[in-house]
Structure 1
Amino acid sequence: MNAICRSNFNLSYTAFPSLLFQVFLAHNNWTTMSRRVNTARRFADSGSLPFMGSLHPKSRPSPLLSIGLVVVGALLIIGYIYRGSGGRSGDIAALNRLDGGVSCTLEVQKIIPILKKTYGDSMRKVLHVGPDTCSVISQLLKEEDTEAWGVEPYELDDVDGNCKSLVHKGTVRVADIKFPLPYRAKSFSLVIVSDALDYLSPKYLNTTVPELARVAADGLVLLSGQPGQQRVKVAELSKFGRPAKRRSSTWWIRFFIRTGFHENESAAKKFEQAAAKNSYESTCQVFHLKPSH
């Protein structure tokens, strides 16, 4: 269904409302015309207007037309919601637009060039952890001299052929990050995490963050939502098991100190400079940490 909607109704955001309005306007016009014709016929049948029958067609518009217009309108709505490519990434983007929420995984895709300038050679072997990791990995693999792997913390569903291929090759794995990752220590030069830690309680954060740092050789980049940001509650409960906990930067800093992590000040400064040069302002909190080893 997603593929049909994307291929047949790949509309721009500005064109969609106009087209949908025209569909329903046409439906209303047909309904109004039908009522007028019926009224005219009642006058004609009563003999009040002897020539009215010759001025209006005798055939009534088929009710199938109204049904068809309603079906087309429904399909346009579905096509608008599922517009986009990359399997579930289109769904996440649509949900964010409708609810005003923010996806830090989408932010990762935007800041890849900035991360390249920040970490340089440390971007040669990257692990991304977070929902819709297939989209992130696909973009990372397009970068020159960059190898990338991904961990999807939640179930994969409605994925496209590219994501299925990445899973089949073992490039992307589905793994519960509350347990040890299936990688050896220092397997990756850089580990990037997005939209994953906000759904963990402090109990699991105490074990998960050190585990993420264990497999990172040069650095750890964590993206977390800002306090006050809203997400789609139904999607959260069905997908992640609990709503996201938006923690402040002060909370995270205290957590890092308590668990023995230190900020990578050099990387943080380079990231800020590169972001300013690209006129980029992040909608998520970005933390740069040194490996614990």
Structure 2
Amino acid sequence: MSRRPNASRRFADSGSIPFVGALHSKSRQSPLLSLGLVVGVLLIVGYLYHSGGRSGDISALNRLDGGVSCTQEVQRLIPILKKAYGDSMQKVLHVGPETCSVVSQLLKEEDTEAWGVEPYELDEADNNCRSLVHKGIVRVADIKFPLPYRPKSFSLVIVSDALDYLSPKYLNRSVPELARVSSDGLVVLSGYPGQQRAKVAELSKFGRPAKLRSSSWWVRFFIQTSLEENEVAIKKFEQAAAKNSYKSACQIFHLKPLH
């Protein structure tokens, strides 16, 4: 077995936005000082917003608004994944909430076929998403059960924001199943411990709050399920990420398919 899986390019999520804590200080402050702090925070947010969406800036904004979406991270990752996986991006399956948006973006890429699995009910789907479902490109399917695809149906399978809501009992079934339908590899995006994911209003949809696990937990899990790290893909991914100054707001694991 190759060396243990690990997360690619972990983003240091322990940082904080300057001066935010000062707004909650119990000490009495002058109105001018309080106003200055508020203006400072607004300027920081404005700078991050207009800075072009680099990963560190996105992560900081995510901490401000109280949540991180690894599905949105996938959309930012597509150019880097294409450099890392090359021909393996010709036939892609994305699994996760809001998969219609990911599939729509993948379909815009040259020489790329894309399908999606939405693990939860589609709420207020737009016309584009309804069209993808009608054509059978996107399916609504519970990933706790076998996927409706033959082995190696896709060159690459990408999963985001779905496994964090499964207990180990169901992970033992779903992750090998995701690897089963891939011929070249599996890319897993998971949140970092400490990140806020599902808001209270979303708990009815996901059924349970997200369980954000450490990279060491995922490493042990992958080893137990006989999944190996894709060292070649990791090296290419890291090179492409460095060239584009990309740092992920989510943990990213590159795994070999099951043969």
TM-score, reference length from structure 2: 0.75
1:253 is matched with which residue?
A: 219
Match of 1:105 among 54, 71, 74: 71
1:186 aligns with 2:152: yes
Percent identity for Structure 1 against Structure 2: 83
**Higher helix fraction: Structure 1 or Structure 2?**
1
Letter in 2 for 1:263: E
Inter-partner Cα distance in structure 1 for 2:63 and 2:212: 19
Shift of 1:256: 0.4
4+ residue runs over 4 A deviation: none
Inter-partner Cα distance in structure 1 for 2:191 and 2:83: 23
Higher relative contact order (CA 8 A, sep 6+): 2
Task: State the number of aligned residues.
Answer: 199
Letter in 2 for 1:211: E
Matched position secondary structure for 2:220 = helix
Shift of 1:170: 0.3
Inter-partner Cα distance in structure 2 for 1:216 and 1:107: 21
Letter in 2 for 1:100: G
1:130 is matched with which residue?
A: 96
The 1:204–1:143 alpha-carbon spacing in structure 2 relative to 1, beyond 3 Å, is same
8 Å contact from structure 1 (residues 126, 149) kept in 2: yes
Letter in 2 for 1:147: E
Give the gaps of 5 or more residues in structure 2: 1-61
Indicate the RMSD between aligned Cα atoms, in angstroms.
Answer: 1.4
Shift of 1:97: 7.7
Of the two, which has the highest radius of gyration? 1
- Where does 1:3-82 land on structure 2 (aligned, <5 Å)? none
Shift of 1:100: 2.1
Inter-partner Cα distance in structure 2 for 1:275 and 1:210: 27
Letter in 2 for 1:163: C
The 1:232–1:291 alpha-carbon spacing in structure 2 relative to 1, beyond 3 Å, is closer
Matched position secondary structure for 1:275 = helix
Deviations 1:103-151 (A, max 9, x none): 0000000000000000000000000000000000000000000000000
2:18 is matched with which residue?
A: none
Letter in 2 for 1:164: R
Letter in 1 for 2:117: V
Matched position secondary structure for 1:189 = strand
8 Å contact from structure 2 (residues 198, 210) kept in 1: no
Shift of 1:239: 1.3
Inter-partner Cα distance in structure 2 for 1:236 and 1:248: 23
Matched position secondary structure for 1:180 = coil
Letter in 1 for 2:162: A
Matched position secondary structure for 1:238 = helix
8 Å contact from structure 1 (residues 127, 191) kept in 2: yes
8 Å contact from structure 2 (residues 159, 188) kept in 1: yes
Inter-partner Cα distance in structure 1 for 2:169 and 2:180: 18
2:49 is matched with which residue?
A: none
Match of 2:174 among 192, 204, 208: 208
TM-score, reference length from structure 1: 0.66
Inter-partner Cα distance in structure 1 for 2:133 and 2:150: 19
1:175 aligns with 2:141: yes
1:157 is matched with which residue?
A: 123
